[in-house]
Copies of this chain bind each other. A is one copy, B any other.
């Protein structure tokens, strides 16, 4: 498979990390060099100087896009799992890649479902007023208007979602590479 960036955007709890992990479990055994750029991990290293203001969120995404770009240049399939709530930031990310090398994946579930899952307890914290600027609660999420893939994680199984991503890798991305 060819190098490219799979950019997963969605609310906290929508399933981005779950799908990233599953996807990498599928790719690694078949020898495909792939890496997950996880927003939480980045915030402990490269982006540890950034907070959650709109400005810092944008800078967070800018840097992540640049790192993903370098990694794709190095030949990897890079899976980014990042809330990335703003359209302009995601458009910037896309602009850093050649046409067809970037896949915007909308990992979508209703807020009520995400809040029920609450894998990190963030929604509970936000509702108790202990966490400000929580996307979906007191910070907006702008859903993609034309994502390359739209995965409904409250309806489709994780396995089915991963299958659709694999199909994109073997279809549109592979066609781009052959051109």
Contact = CB atoms under 8 A, between A and B. Distances in A.
B69 A45 contact: yes
A30 interface: no
A46 interface: yes
Interface in A93-144: 96
Interface in A75-98: 75-76, 96
A147 interface: no
Contacts of A46: 63, 66-67, 70
A76 B66 CA distance: 17
B33 A33 contact: yes
A45 B69 CA distance: 9
Interface of A: 33, 35, 37, 45-46, 63, 66-67, 69-71, 73-76, 96
Contact of A73 (B33, B35, B63, B69): B35
9 contacts: A33-B74, A33-B75, A35-B74, A37-B70, A45-B70, A46-B70, A67-B67, A74-B74, A74-B76
A142 to B, nearest CB: 24
Contacts of A37: 70
A70 B35 contact: yes
A71 B76 CA distance: 10
Contact of A74 (B45, B63, B71): B71
A30 to B, nearest CB: 15
Nearest to A37: B70
A63 B63 CA distance: 9
* 10 smallest beta-carbon distances between A and B, as pairs: A35-B74, A46-B66, A45-B66, A67-B67, A74-B76, A46-B63, A33-B33, A67-B70, A33-B75, A71-B74
